[in-house]
Structure 1
Amino acid sequence: MKPRWIVVLLFITVFAEARAQRASYRVEALVSAPISSIRGLSVVSDEVVWVSGTQGKAGRSTDGGRTWEWFSIPGCDSCDFRDIEAFSANRALIMGIAEPARIFLTENGGKHWKQVYFNDTKGIFLDAMDFWNDKDGVIAGDPMNGRFKGLQTHDGGQTWQDLTLPEAAEGEACFAASGTTLRALPGKQAFAIASGGSKSRFFRYSGGKWAVINWPATQGAASKGIFSFAFHGAKNGVAVGGDYMNPKDENSNCLVTSDGGNTWALPRKAPRGYRSAVEYLDGRQLITTGPGGTDMSTDGGQTWEALTDEGFHAVRKAKKGSRVYLAGGKGRIAVLRRND
């Protein structure tokens, strides 16, 4: 057994290193967009960033957020585009969530938008969209007729087909808070969905089979559950959420897994309340945000410390690069910077 003073010294050293790593970052405001709320955020590279949100609007930057172009999709003034998937500076898909649910595609940098999906069925509500590559993608939505709504594409979003997703419990649904309640996972056509409401569960599809996993997330009310999750590789993952009606509540608002989502556990120290998005910076460092603030972890999600009290709806890392962007209420867009 190690002497107590060695254990204490190790703890102090680890704590000091973690604080030093967090202190090396800051959230830097970029612009206030002409969009009242942004929840759709897709970062193609360190320089190419797309956003979407309320009032039928979207935006694009091709210079790392220094300058922006803003687009109003015709006939969509009341649309809420809560998710966006961008593939390049020219090509992007935006998803309008509800009655009617709409998906639009641009292939010329936002100059023109083509409607590629329309559904005005009563009760339809799309939550999140993700892609494995430029062609193959999937969408998950709230339950219809007792089963989560699913869509899939194999031609880059030009056409969409129905996809059978699992049955939902009464009062169980997904959240359209940041477009990350659904994630494409490593492996052919593997993906996962997180739910909330009366029940909060983790649904993973792989090898043609569904695994339905109960986890110790807060649940039991329409405002509670997991709102976002992320994986680094096939095994390590973190999920965040909470109760958006009680945004300071830390009870069961974060979960971690090291076995691909088969089992989940509470972290040693949770984020400071309801969080709507989480993203890996690397294998050990993560950032999570919500309207009430932004936190970071340097140990794979086991402990979280405050980065700033400024909160956002969405946070995403560049698909091809290392830069991390945030977007949220009142059209705010920011970037995570290193202080050194």
Structure 2
Amino acid sequence: MQKYYKIIGLLLLIAGSGQLFGQKRAVEVLTTGTKTSLRGLSVVNDNVLWVSGSQGKVGRSTNGGKNWKWMTVPGFEKAEFRDIEAFGPNTAIIMASGDSAYILKTTDGGDNWRIVYQNFTKGMFLDAMDFYTPEHGIVVGDPVNNRFFIAETKNNGDTWEQTNLQHPGAVADSGEAFYAASGTNVRLFPDGSFYLASGGKASRLITRTLATALPLVQNTPASGAYSIAVYKRSQKTKRTHIVIVGGDYTRDTVNTQNCIFSVNNGKTWQRPKTPPRGFRSCVEFITDEVLIACGTSGVDLSYDAGRRWVNISGDSYNVCRTGKFSNVVFLAGNNGTIGKLVETSKMEN
């Protein structure tokens, strides 16, 4: 099962990457109007995807977003489910952000949920999750007693154990935290390594062994890094390629210092020649060269690994994710809005 969906997914992405070039892309709205702000999104394949958001809402589609099963998790009617990880039509894990930390799991398509983790420590606020396989996952939260909260599971999310980073970078700077904006400011890999991006009055890249300052706009409670995308061993460079987006949420049309990329595993950073058009809360690799980024002021694509970005929509979305088993791309945002990246010719048909 190791790498079970990443390997298959990457092969399919690479095979289909040529279709992305030379074609006009747009975001087709699949559904909107449900009273929830969606920030959690997990795409299993072309047909199965799950979303989560405010008001304790979780949504599931098994036919590519055409129809939805909406549910409010009992006992969590006011919860902010800021992230979700799904493994098929029946199994999913949701993370509640707030004064207390909760992680819940379903194995019957959302009919029943059980609490697999809870933490009432003062200051607890969970921000994001990532799984590399169904067995191994990680969850991160804001600093508690000035140290970032990190916990991991190695048994399908059934139990979680706190991870204590020992290097000096594990101590948060004053005003530094994570954003519970799209569930994508942490990325986990099979060797146990992870990449984590912080924001606020300081913005840094944090791993198990070090912390590095990021050249993004920062120093305010709404600025810094919001999302990180990592492509291990790019087909062209044979290096780890990192793209980070963010900006200032309160000035979401400003594109100054809102995106950076590294082709040497974060040792040095570059800025795009043409950045995304404003604040972006999520970035995702579609192939090793093609990326999508979204935020409250629009959606952008890059066809050259983050060096230049093209705006394709001015609509607001909080999160965009690719499929684990395919190169399909879905987006989710406020008012229960869910979209899909499509060729413009298909929208016209």
CA distance in structure 2 between the partners assigned to 1:278 and 1:292 by the alignment:
14
1:104 aligns with 2:90: no
Question: Does 2:310 align with 1:305?
Answer: yes
Counterpart mapping for 1:189-228 below 5 A: 189-205=192-208, 210-228=209-227
Report how many aligned residue pairs link the two structures: 317
> How far apart are residue 23 of structure 1 and its match?
5.3
Q: In the alignment, what sits opposite 1:153? A: 153
Secondary structure at 2:340's aligned position in 1? strand
Distance in 1 (CA, whole Å) between partners of 2:56 and 2:79 is 5
Percent of aligned pairs sharing the same letter: 41
Contact 2:36 2:57 in 1 (8 A): no
Quick check: 1:287–1:294 contact (8 Å CA) kept in 2? Answer: yes
TM (normalized to structure 2)? 0.88
The Cα shift of 1:249 comes to 1.4
User: What secondary structure, in the 3-state scheme, does the structure 2 residue paired with 1:245 have?
Assistant: helix
Q: Is the 8 A contact 1:22 1:307 kept in 2?
A: no
When structure 1 is superposed on structure 2, of 27-36 and 119-128 the one drifting more is: 27-36
In structure 2, list runs of 5 or more residues that go unmatched.
1-19, 234-239
1:233 aligns with 2:232: yes
Q: 2:272 aligns with which of 261, 267, 271?
A: 267
1:71-129 deviations in whole A, cap 9, x for unaligned? 11111011000000111111000000112211110001111101111122221111100
The answer for the alignment partner of 2:86 in structure 1 is 86
* Distance (whole Å) between structure 1 residues aligned to residue 113 and residue 242 of structure 2: 35
Shift of 1:35: 3.6
Query: Distance between the aligned counterparts of 2:211 and 2:123, measured in 1?
Result: 24
Residue 286 (str. 1) matches residue 285 (str. 2):
no
TM-score scaled by structure 1? 0.90
Q: C-alpha displacement at 1:36, in angstroms? A: 2.0
Q: In the alignment, is residue 169 of structure 1 matched against residue 173 of structure 2?
A: yes
**Runs ≥4 in structure 1, deviation > 6 angstroms?**
none
Question: 1-side partners of 2:103 and 2:26: how far apart?
Answer: 34
TM superposition shift of 1:267: 1.2
Any idea what the Cα deviations from partners look like across 1:117-155, whole Å, max 9, x if unmatched?
A: 112222111110001211111111100001001111111
Instruction: Tell me, yes or no, if the aligned pair for 2:98 and 2:125 is still in contact at 8 Å.
Output: yes
Q: Give SS of 2:159's match.
A: coil
**Which residue among 166, 180, 184 is the counterpart of 2:184?**
180
- Unpaired runs of 5+ residues, structure 1, are 1-19
Aligned counterpart, 1:319? 324
Q: Deviations 1:205-227 (Å, cap 9, x if unpaired)?
A: 3xxxx121112111111111010
